[in-house]
């Protein structure tokens, strides 16, 4: 498949998968229109890089649909001078998009077989997803790129007062995209859209706990 084919597919993604579901931040649209998503999927799946679906990466991990990332970034209301921690960086697609939108990105991944190579404007870190990366805290935004049952207190503590957490929250078998605002060390989430995104390991809630 040629570069022109991928460019056409990327433009179709923007027009049919992003603009139609409320991704209306011009900066987010421009970033997702610029980053070649096909470079971040396994070679055998490059033809489906712009499908409106998750792309399996192996070891139970997936690259989430463009709509989910676009909605989370739009609702996060990013400013260009912010510091962001990306949890669940996988092959680096979301990190590459974020690098076009904020001042600095720390991208955390625990699966060394997925971890992306160097990206401009991104500091790549290997470690436990559920632990976050306290050494770089505080962050203006933490984006947990996947579905979780709970957000550990250790991660909430890494957000600057007034900062945000963006993720997918699992409740009663349904995943909903959500933005949480951290005030005084506590976070309150508002959900805004259902989304079929892959769960991240290490974020299961104790039995009987749910959002």
Could you give the CA distance from residue 164 to residue 30 in angstroms, rounded to a whole number? 22
DSSP letters of 20-32? GGT---HHHHHHH
Q: What is the pLDDT of residue 180?
A: 98
Q: Which fold has domain 53-194?
A: Rossmann fold (3.40.50)
Q: What is the mean pLDDT of each run of 10 residues along the chain (211 residues)?
A: 90 96 96 96 93 90 95 96 97 96 96 80 95 98 97 98 98 95 97 94 76 53
Angle at 77 between CA 75 and CA 81, to 5 degrees: 150
Residue 62: its H or E element = strand 61-63
Could you give the CA distance from residue 28 to residue 206 in angstroms, rounded to a whole number? 35
Hey, where are the domains in the chain? 53-194
Q: What is the pLDDT of residue 158?
A: 98
Alpha helices, DSSP H only, in the chain? Answer: 3-13, 26-34, 66-76, 93-99, 153-156
Q: What is the pLDDT of residue 51?
A: 92
């Amino acid at each position: 498949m040629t570069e022109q084919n991928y460019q056409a597919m990327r433009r179709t993604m923007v027009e049919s998968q992003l603009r139609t579901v409320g991704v209306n931040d011009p900066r987010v649209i421009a970033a997702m229109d610029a980053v070649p998503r096909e470079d971040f999927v396994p070679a055998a799946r490059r033809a489906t890089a712009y499908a409106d679906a998750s792309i399996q990466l192996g070891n139970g991990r997936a690259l989430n649909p463009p709509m989910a990332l676009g909605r989370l970034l739009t609702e996060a209301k990013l400013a260009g001078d912010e510091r962001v921690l990306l949890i669940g960086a996988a092959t680096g697609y979301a990190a590459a998009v974020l690098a076009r939108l904020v001042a600095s990105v720390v991208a955390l991944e625990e699966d060394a077989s997925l971890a992306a190579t160097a990206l401009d404007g991104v500091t790549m870190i290997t470690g436990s997803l559920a632990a976050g990366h306290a050494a770089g805290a505080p962050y203006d935004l933490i984006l947990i790129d996947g579905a979780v049952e709970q957000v550990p207190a250790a991660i909430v503590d890494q957000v600057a007062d007034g900062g945000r957490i963006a993720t997918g929250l699992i409740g009663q078998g349904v995943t909903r995209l959500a933005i949480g605002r951290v005030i005084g060390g506590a976070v309150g989430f508002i959900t805004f859209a259902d989304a079929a995104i892959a769960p991240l390991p290490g974020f299961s809630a104790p039995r009987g706990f749910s959002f």
